[in-house]
Amino acid sequence: AQSVTQLGSHVSVSEGALVLLRCNYSSSVPPYLFWYVQYPNQGLQLLLKYTSAATLVKGINGFEAEFKKSETSFHLTKPSAHMSDAAEYFCAVNQAGTALIFGKGTTLSVSS
């Protein structure tokens, strides 16, 4: 079965600092990977998705993620954090014939 692991349930950065949220997947076949963001009391919004067209994927709000097959990783980054980036972030993998499987999430805090 496919799965994702998000390392670090909480990440804290200063405004303007680099954001790095880690995601590793396990899959016996090429995976389809996604990052979602959830703001308090809201649903999930798609940030970006890996479609195999390019290993570096650019998403909304300045986020990007790089697919590294050798490391089975799909880490999310943003060069400069903004206060509005404070939210919970979920990595997900698509499992054939069924639904998205999510990691446990990483809460990002941004301090001024």
Binding residues for other proteins, per CB under 8 A? 9, 32, 34, 36, 41-46, 49-52, 90, 94, 96-105
Q: Tell me whether residue 12 or residue 51 sits nearer to other proteins (CB atom).
A: 51
Please report how close the Cβ of residue 70 comes to other proteins at its closest, in angstroms: 21
Contact between 72 and 96 under an 8 Å Cβ cutoff? The reply is no
β-bridge mates for residue 35, sequence order: 48, 91
Contact between 74 and 106 under an 8 Å Cβ cutoff? The reply is no
Q: Tell me whether residue 28 or residue 112 sits nearer to other proteins (CB atom).
A: 28
Q: Tell me whether residue 82 or residue 104 sits nearer to other proteins (CB atom).
A: 104
β-bridge mates for residue 14, sequence order: 111
What string of DSSP letters covers 43-58?
Answer: -EEEEEEE-SS-SEEE
Within the chain, residue ranges assigned H as helices are none
Q: Tell me whether residue 94 or residue 109 sits nearer to other proteins (CB atom).
A: 94
Please report how close the Cβ of residue 51 comes to other proteins at its closest, in angstroms: 4
Please report how close the Cβ of residue 4 comes to other proteins at its closest, in angstroms: 9
